[in-house]
Structure 1
Amino acid sequence: MPIFEYETHLPFSREDVFDWYSRPGALVRLHPPFAGRVIEEPSNGLKDGSESVLGINLPSIFGTTLAAVADIAGSATPLPVRGYTKWRARHTDFRPGRGFADEMISGPAKSWRHDRSFEDDGTSMVLREKVTYELPVVGKLPSAVQKLVSRQFEAELTRIFAFRGRQSSDDLAFHQAHGRLASQLALDPHHVPGAAPVKVVAVSGATGLIGRQVCALLGGAGIEVRRMVRGSADPQAGEIAWDPDAGTLDPESLREVDAVIHLAGHPLASRFTEEHKKKVLDSRVEGTALIATTLASLESADQRGRVLISGSAIGYYGATPADRSGISGPLTEDSPAGSDFLAEVCEKWEESTAPAKNAGVRTAMIRTGIVQTPAGGALSQLLPLYTVGAGGPLGDKEWQSWISIDDIAAMIVHLVFNPEAEGPVNGVGPEPVTAKQYSKILASVMRRPSAIPVPAFGPKLVLGEQGAKEIVGADQQVSAEKAQTLGYAFRHHTLKEALEHVLGS
């Protein structure tokens, strides 16, 4: 059977790297967004018998695009639509601190075994990986065709493993900077540079695009994550029940929580009818107020220095210059709110955190920009057009303030740890681009043309005239200076870097 081998050198100790691999969320952080998704995390860490389930996309940008199209179709119809294949694997040969393997139980391959060996390499370490595999049907093909298929398959594996290497290095560096590596915690379990110890964090919107990565990053930091869920909760799984519509949240469920990251809200991308706009506004204001008042009552009775990091968006500043009273230049956290609908939503959303702040809870609001990932959002909706060579700019000189999925997740966690982080913080990359530049950069990364402008009626059909103006036609040059002043180190400074990473280019 064919064998694929790959080495990743990491400037960290073997023990720290293995420990990070063992923590909850590692698989979510390691699985590339262009290659699929994690459906079920390992049932028992890396230990023998632990099982996980992945959703595997077809290879190349075409597979990523097919999954994106399926997700878009699935959100628009009650019919089950799936653009990936399920892959169930079981861990075996667990060697604490040294290695483990996984074998495919069911999936698209005929057979698959993936061995990992963690080895010392001076002051750093090397991860040696060996995949022994067999593809279906291929063995019956002519020898030359078999070699071609294996070459293409292993090129895809190289793409995936290269992503994992970059992701491992970036996450470990992030945790090291915040004193969260195993070796640092062993010296002092409360060691978080310049911050109070954070052990337990509750997260609303934990299954969302950003929330999933935030939870995984927290798990990699050795933090206990308690997911806030609607309906019945499983306390054994660390879940917290809440119902923002009914205004119910048991204060006892948050008593042991050091910080709450609040990301839940009704999905924005839909036609801007009065009913939809009401759901967008009410879900954000009522949910935030419920969490803020609950934390306020807890902090008033027991001053522990709790933290609230609440979602917001750069829509706060208004979609266009006409919506912000003639203010020009980069928008900072001190810029006033705009005058359109999304600005009103963001302003009331942030104001709803006031009870927590007034009670002494350190409160910060993350004004998120255009998140870049093929797993959802704006980029996933553009992929089909660009993949077939029909992509083009959604405008010309309008400013688009983007941020990679990894940077927005890491920035949110950074705000949890940083005792100086309060008030609004722009969750955007340091180098915004114009709509025309965005199109050219995306086309370059995907190796496609970008000559066909998207017709104005397209977004209007989906979002309505107001939604198209405030989401697709937004013109917002937003500054990332405050985040940098707070010590956040960006992983992806340029849009090109971000797109190459999330698309595996």
Structure 2
Amino acid sequence: MQILIAGASGFLGQRLIPHLRAAGHQVTPLVRRPPRPGEVRWDPTSGVLDGTVVAAADAVINLAGAGVGEKRWTAQYKKVLVDSRVDTTRTLARAIAAAPVKPKVLLNSSAVGYYGDTGDRAVDETSPAGEGFLADLCKVWEAATHPAEDAGTRVALLRTGLPLDPDGGLLKPLYLQFKLFAGGRMGSGRQYLPWISVPDWLAAITFVLDRELSGPVNLTGPEPVTNAEFSAALGEVMHRPNLLPVPGFALRAAVGEFGGEALASQRVLPAVLVREGFPFAHRTVREALQQAVSSIT
């Protein structure tokens, strides 16, 4: 396939491109800086994208968006979080709709934040949206794909959980804490974490790409665990104690509103992947953590 990808420089994008190329696909990254050979420049803020590039693609993958946990959620940064997702998605969807020859599929990032705080209640792709900033963000983010869908392109909404890798996401700060013998659960520890191994996330992308799947697809592991169970498994894998919990009030004080979202419970199940027979390589959080930790040791 000829694949056009936005968000190629991000944590997951940097891993996805070599994965797709190893599978035999031709990948063209969209960039905002001056392009290198094999790249295409675009400006999603202004809605500028060469339509001939879109028409030449069999598939478009959009992973673009500012980091959710990188800064405090001021009003200004919350706008950045929304605009960096909606502008890119809208630009791609409109370009697909306008193309004389349309890509067959758009895989567009979303997040399990769509479901809000689910407590102990398990949710899957049939569950309604929740409440809160991230849930509202996911709703407008996903809605921005409608021009492509209305034009007949298959659209899959990738509601990604927490990919486990020491170089990014949730595991990066936790890995350092446990390495320094300062690890422990966050808050009460009773909140569920919708984890997924990075190899399974990459495999799920090609799985969705190759099949006629549309609509929301939860990219999470098949066995969600509580934060306390996650912390215990990480301590076991790293051979470190699991003794120093981070109180909820301290997390909120340190990072503001994001701290409250980080303490939310999301018991998210990958019902579509399970139904379609996706072969998870890491079915338990311990297996996923073992893979992540062994990748750098």
Fold match (TM-score > 0.5): yes
Contact 1:421 1:486 in 2 (8 A): no
The equivalent residue for 1:444 is: 236
Structure 1 counterpart of 2:41, from 241, 254, 262 = 241
**TM-score, normalised relative to structure 2:** 0.95
The equivalent residue for 2:50 is: 250
Q: Per the alignment, in what secondary structure is the counterpart of residue 137 of structure 2?
A: helix
Q: Which amino acid letter does the alignment assign opposite residue 252 of structure 1?
A: T
1:389 aligns with 2:181: yes
1:500 aligns with 2:290: yes
Partners of 2:82 and 2:207 in 1: how far apart?
A: 27
1:261 aligns with 2:53: no
Q: Please list, as runs of the form range in 1=range in 2, the aligned pairs for 1:221-240 lying within 5 A after superposition.
A: 221-234=23-36, 237-240=37-40
Partners of 2:64 and 2:40 in 1: how far apart?
A: 14
Partners of 2:253 and 2:121 in 1: how far apart?
A: 31
Q: Per the alignment, in what secondary structure is the counterpart of residue 190 of structure 2?
A: coil
Q: Which amino acid letter does the alignment assign opposite residue 414 of structure 1?
A: F
Following superposition, which runs of at least 4 residues in structure 1 exceed 2 angstroms of deviation? 455-463
Q: Per the alignment, in what secondary structure is the counterpart of residue 393 of structure 1?
A: coil
1:304-357 alpha-carbon deviations (Å, 9 max, x no partner): x62100000000001354xxxxxx631111111112000000011001000000
Partners of 2:180 and 2:130 in 1: how far apart?
A: 37
Q: Which amino acid letter does the alignment assign opposite residue 280 of structure 1?
A: L
* Residue 415 of structure 1, CA deviation: 1.1
The equivalent residue for 2:85 is: 284
The equivalent residue for 1:315 is: 113
Q: Per the alignment, in what secondary structure is the counterpart of residue 488 of structure 1?
A: coil
Q: Per the alignment, in what secondary structure is the counterpart of residue 244 of structure 1?
A: coil
* Residue 232 of structure 1, CA deviation: 1.9
Q: Which amino acid letter does the alignment assign opposite residue 225 of structure 1?
A: V
1:154-179 alpha-carbon deviations (Å, 9 max, x no partner): xxxxxxxxxxxxxxxxxxxxxxxxxx
Contact 1:206 1:263 in 2 (8 A): yes
The equivalent residue for 2:8 is: 206
In structure 2, relative to structure 1, the CA distance for the partners of 1:254 and 1:302 (3 Å cut) is closer
Partners of 2:149 and 2:276 in 1: how far apart?
A: 19
* Residue 459 of structure 1, CA deviation: 2.5
Partners of 1:457 and 1:302 in 2: how far apart?
A: 53
Q: Please list, as runs of the form range in 1=range in 2, the aligned pairs for 1:61-76 lying within 5 A after superposition.
A: none
Partners of 1:316 and 1:390 in 2: how far apart?
A: 31
Identity of aligned residues (%): 39
**TM-score, normalised relative to structure 1:** 0.56
Contact 1:391 1:452 in 2 (8 A): yes
The equivalent residue for 1:43 is: none
1:430-458 alpha-carbon deviations (Å, 9 max, x no partner): 01100110110000000111011113344
Structure 2 counterpart of 1:373, from 152, 165, 168 = 165
Contact 1:317 1:338 in 2 (8 A): yes
The equivalent residue for 1:127 is: none
Structure of larger gyration radius: 1
Partners of 1:306 and 1:233 in 2: how far apart?
A: 25
* Residue 417 of structure 1, CA deviation: 1.1
Partners of 1:360 and 1:400 in 2: how far apart?
A: 35
Contact 2:29 2:40 in 1 (8 A): yes
Q: What's the Cα RMSD here? A: 1.4
1:198-227 alpha-carbon deviations (Å, 9 max, x no partner): x21011111211111111111011111101
Q: Please list, as runs of the form range in 1=range in 2, the aligned pairs for 1:91-490 lying within 5 A after superposition.
A: 199-234=1-36, 237-269=37-69, 270-298=71-99, 301-302=100-101, 306-321=104-119, 329-394=121-186, 395-418=188-211, 420-464=212-256, 466-470=257-261, 472-490=262-280
Partners of 1:241 and 1:306 in 2: how far apart?
A: 22
1 or 2, which has the higher strand percentage?
1
Contact 2:55 2:101 in 1 (8 A): no
Partners of 1:382 and 1:457 in 2: how far apart?
A: 18
Q: Per the alignment, in what secondary structure is the counterpart of residue 268 of structure 2?
A: coil
Q: Per the alignment, in what secondary structure is the counterpart of residue 350 of structure 1?
A: helix
- Number of aligned residue pairs: give it: 293
Contact 1:272 1:467 in 2 (8 A): yes
Q: More relative contact order in 1 or in 2 (CA 8 Å, sep 6+)?
A: 2
Q: Per the alignment, in what secondary structure is the counterpart of residue 431 of structure 1?
A: coil
Partners of 1:372 and 1:352 in 2: how far apart?
A: 28
The equivalent residue for 1:82 is: none
